[in-house]
Amino acid sequence: MLPNWAGYQLQEKWEDLKERLHLQEVREWINGRPEFVVSATLISGIVLLTIGMWLLIPDKTAPVRTIEKEWFYDLNTGKLFTAEKGLTPPIEAPSGPQGDGEPAGVRAYMLSYKPNESERFIGFLEMSAPNDVQARWPTRLRRRSAATRWGKGKFLRRIEDEHWVPADSSEGRKIFDEAFAPNADGERPVYCRPK
């Protein structure tokens, strides 16, 4: 609670401020014009309602879809290229189809022990087995590892190999294991995504 003298001083300053700002005259002017009060209230309400709606309505902007890329290998030229992630190889390659008319683009697993580009190497190539081959694929009833499930319906080979082998076969697992084998320092390679 303020002492009496402080209350009197505040009251005196308030009266002085009202006189300087002509608040009494403004109040009398507003009281004499009720249509001004109603108009100001309506305008304030409309502005407040508009701002509220603008803040509550979500943006209608389209979500940005980032296209992720994967490495592919052109069997005709032996060169790497990138294509959209999720494509099932073989896909169309920049050089066109192979001699038998099949697409020449197969997935390449670009690996590196170090995070710099000069240390990268192609661990192996991957392509999907044709549908008629997949239909004849043996079904194993025993529990399969994650690597075996990943390899079902896929063929692998090294760049220097001539023949493709099923990824879930012992030969396919050997190619996979060799690609991800640790180096002399005990480091395992990691997949290098294209930029």
Residue with tokens 């309505």: 57
Q: Is the whole-model pTM more than 0.75?
A: no
Is the CB of residue 123 less than 8 Å from the CB of residue 103?
A: no
Residues forming beta bridges with residue 125, ordered by sequence position: 108, 157
The pLDDT value recorded for residue 5 is 67
Mean pLDDT by 10 residues, the chain (195 residues): 69 74 71 82 90 79 75 94 90 92 93 80 88 54 59 86 88 91 88 85
Neighbours of 109 (CB within 10 A): 20
Show me where the domains of the chain are located. 4-56, 69-191
Contact in structure between 54 and 67 (CB atoms under 8 Å): no
Q: What is the pLDDT of residue 67?
A: 67
